[in-house]
Chains A and B, each alone.
Chain A
């Protein structure tokens, strides 16, 4: 009984350490986004005679992206509850839904980028567009990494089942996904909504 308790607390301590380490990573990542946000805030008016955000952005598209990402955060959370209950099948279902929503979000983001570039508004057009593509593109890159991570983790779940290590990995994954959601909220507000104020 005592030994089992010790084992438990050892496992829990390791969990806490990993969680804290990952949290430190997330916060440093947040600082990187902060710098990109600061650059955008400073440069968003420098359009070099080109179009401004108000002329380029589509608010309904940005809203759709936001709702998709928020929903994916919910499905990710429900998947996490399923993981802690030990329901492998539900984990696979909910995280797959998260993956599909994430992919849809990324697709919309890329569609927007492609339209801008097709109309000749590229990274090189103005300081505004450089900072826009860098900020939103970095978020997109994080989303793609998250999608890859989901695929890899689900493959492991499928192969090895839900052991405590797997649950911890899923926990980190969901933390990362929720974090991207928060960053997006600020992109939605600062980049898209504020362009129309």
Chain B
């Protein structure tokens, strides 16, 4: 393209010169040091820091691709650029997709919750000397009846390892879940207790503290229970 430089030793433009390599190198050093210092000094934090260092990694990659790999400077048509772009799209799908799916899987079925639930149901209170959080001996039973728009009693006091039974007294389906509406918290490994007509569902109170519960289908039906040692 430029006819002014026609020296014998001038490298072809698609390969780069010593200067271009040195410039690329300096850029890459700078783009390494900046995120490093940001992380070490904690001048930014949380998701802002995360976004910044990922941004620098991408900048770094672009620098490497332009100055070292010389992508896009070869003979046309640029099949390798097309191939690179399609690879990058696959990368985004694989990484983004995995994180998205696994996050939701984790949210809906976190391994600790599943293990806890299983331990409680099978009354496995210890494994290899380690407590699972399940109760060894079951205490008293408390009842909460739900029906015709009334929760009775609204407050239940219980001791650790007592049981609590929700009983439906009307013809509608109730779904007992924990926390204030619209949250959908988990208690004792249960995140949803369906109550059919005239039926009950029992949980073991193996977590200390005061908890709210509500009917997810009829949020006005709510109450709380307190578990003390």
Taking Cβ atoms with an 8 Å cutoff, the residues of A that contact B are 12, 16, 19-20, 23-24, 27, 30-31, 34-35, 37-39, 41-42, 59, 63, 66-67, 70-71, 73-74, 77-78, 80-81, 84-85, 175, 178-179, 181-182, 185-186, 188-190, 193-194, 196-197
Rounded to whole angstroms, the CA-CA distance of A34 and B15 in the bound complex is 28
**A24 contacts B83, CB within 8 Å?**
yes
C-alpha spacing A127/B97, complex, angstroms: 20
The residues of A that contact B217 with a CB separation of less than 8 Å are none
Contact of B138 with A by CB under 8 A? no
In the complex, chain B residues 1-60 whose Cβ is within 8 Å of any chain A Cβ: 9, 11-12, 15-18, 21-22, 24-25, 28-29, 32, 35-36, 39-40, 45-46, 49-50, 53-54, 56-57, 60
- Confirm or deny: B109 has a beta carbon within 8 angstroms of a beta carbon on chain A: no
A16, A81, A190 interface centre (most CB from chain B within 10 Å): A81
Docked pose: A87 CA to B214 CA in angstroms: 80
* Category for how many chain B residues contact A: 35 or more
Residues of B within 8 A of A59 (CB): 36, 39-40
Q: In the complex, how many angstroms separate the beta carbon of A43 from the nearest chain B beta carbon? A: 9
Q: Which secondary structure characterizes the binding site on chain A?
A: helix
Least Cβ–Cβ distance between B45 and chain A, in angstroms: 8
- The contact of A185 among B61, B80, B102, by CB within 8 Å, is B61
**CB-CB under 8 A for A197 and B46, given A77-B16, A81-B18:** yes
Q: Which residues of B contact A27 (CB under 8 A)?
A: 83-84, 87
Query: When A73-B68, A194-B50, A194-B53 are in contact, do A182 and B32 touch as well, CB less than 8 Å?
Result: no
**0/1 per residue, B73-86, Cβ < 8 Å to A?**
01100011001100
The verdict on A189 contacting B57 (CB below 8 Å), with A24-B83, A38-B95, A77-B16 known, is yes
- Contact A197 B91, beta carbon cutoff 8 Å: no
Assembly CA distance A21 to B107 (angstroms): 43
A66: B residues at CB distance < 8 A: 32
What residues of chain B have their CB less than 8 Å away from a CB belonging to chain A? Answer: 9, 11-12, 15-18, 21-22, 24-25, 28-29, 32, 35-36, 39-40, 45-46, 49-50, 53-54, 56-57, 60-61, 64-65, 68-69, 74-75, 79-80, 83-84, 87, 90-91, 94-95, 98-99, 102
Tell whether, in the assembled complex, residue A20 and residue B87 are in contact, meaning their CB atoms are under 8 Å apart.
no
**Contact of B65 (CB < 8 Å), options: A70, A84, A182:** A182
C-alpha spacing A71/B91, complex, angstroms:
27
Tell me the interface secondary structure of chain B in the complex.
helix
* Residue of A19, A63, A70 with highest tally of chain B CB at under 10 A: A70
Cβ-closest chain A residue relative to B67: A77
**Known pairs A23-B80, A24-B83; A85 contacts B11 (CB<8 A):** yes
Q: 3 nearest interchain CB pairs?
A: A189-B57, A77-B21, A38-B98
* A residues less than 8 Å from B69 (CB atoms): 175, 178-179, 182
B28: chain A residues at CB < 8 Å are: 70, 73, 185
A24-B94 Cα distance, complex, nearest whole Å: 18
Q: Are A37 and B21 in contact (CB under 8 A)?
A: no
Identify A178's interface contact among B36, B39, B49, B64, CB under 8 A: B64
Q: List 30 A-B contacts (CB under 8 A).
A: A12-B75, A16-B75, A19-B74, A23-B80, A27-B84, A30-B91, A31-B91, A31-B94, A39-B98, A42-B99, A59-B36, A59-B39, A59-B40, A67-B32, A73-B25, A73-B28, A74-B21, A77-B21, A78-B18, A178-B64, A178-B68, A185-B32, A185-B64, A188-B32, A189-B53, A189-B54, A189-B56, A194-B50, A196-B40, A197-B50
Q: Is the CB of B102 within 8 A of A85?
A: no
Given the complex, which residues of A lie within 8 Å of B49, measured CB to CB? 197
A63 to B, closest residue via Cβ: B36
Apart from A78-B21, A85-B9, list 8 A-B contacts with CB within 8 A. Answer: A41-B98, A74-B22, A84-B15, A182-B69, A189-B53, A189-B56, A193-B53, A194-B50
